[in-house]
Chain A
Amino acid sequence: AQTVTQSQPEMSVQEAETVTLSCTYDTSESNYYLFWYKQPPSRQMILVIRQEAYKQQNATENRFSVNFQKAAKSFSLKISDSQLGDTAMYFCAFMMGTSGTYKYIFGTGTRLKVLA
């Protein structure tokens, strides 16, 4: 069974600094997607960034980038120039794209607080 592990329950970072959130996963599949979702306090979950497993190049979206290490099954999120609006829960998620499953498995989340 696929699992997603986030080992950092809480983190904090000073405004304008850089922070990295960790995520590891376990799967025997070769074709899958990885995601980072953000859930601000009392607001809905939104996609931050996605990575397709067959792509070797790490995904980037403005201040957000990932370090995807397929062999190590690691998928960390780097937030550069942190802003107060980045304060939220961040969830790492895995989705297997084969066998028609397309089921998403989420980690337990990392609560990030950006300090002024």
Chain B
Amino acid sequence: DTGVSQNPRHKITKRGQNVTFRCDPISEHNRLYWYRQTLGQGPEFLTYFQNEAQLEKSRLLSDRFSAERPKGSFSTLEIQRTEQGDSAMYLCASSNPPGQVAFDGELFFGEGSRLTVL
């Protein structure tokens, strides 16, 4: 397993366009998280999944944002009608299932997808 993979790594789009990011977590991880990080700031929680179920969604996530994780494998984060304020790095992370002996709380991050909205 090569770790958490995110695509595309960089997306430049015009305001008003839709964009979609994909995250492939580590295969045995059933928890998957999306975070947003702006320059010089810490990651802000957006949403997370346990298998295919979306367990929590931040108030930061307006109705223009939607995330899915069909079949509990990869996940997509779609932003509709992008705005300049959406420009950020979108980070995906995954973790071992809580409750298992191997669970130690570590999040494994991808390299992120950087969005630039012109």
Contacts and interface: CB of A to CB of B under 8 A. Distances in A.
Interface residues of B, number: 24
Interface stretch (B17-25, B77-85, B98-106): B98-106
A46 B44 CA distance: 16
Secondary structure type dominating chain A contacts:
strand
A100 B111 CA distance: 27
Given A43-B111, A102-B98, A108 B41 contact: yes
B42 A108 contact: yes
A103 B107 CA distance: 10
A109 B41 contact: yes
A105 interface: yes
A15 B40 CA distance: 24
B45 interface: yes
A8 to B, nearest CB: 13
A107 B42 CA distance: 6
Given A44-B112, A45-B109, A91-B43, A103 B104 contact: no
A49 to B, nearest CB: 10
Interface of A: 4, 6, 33, 35, 37, 43-47, 50, 52, 91, 93, 95, 97, 100-109, 111
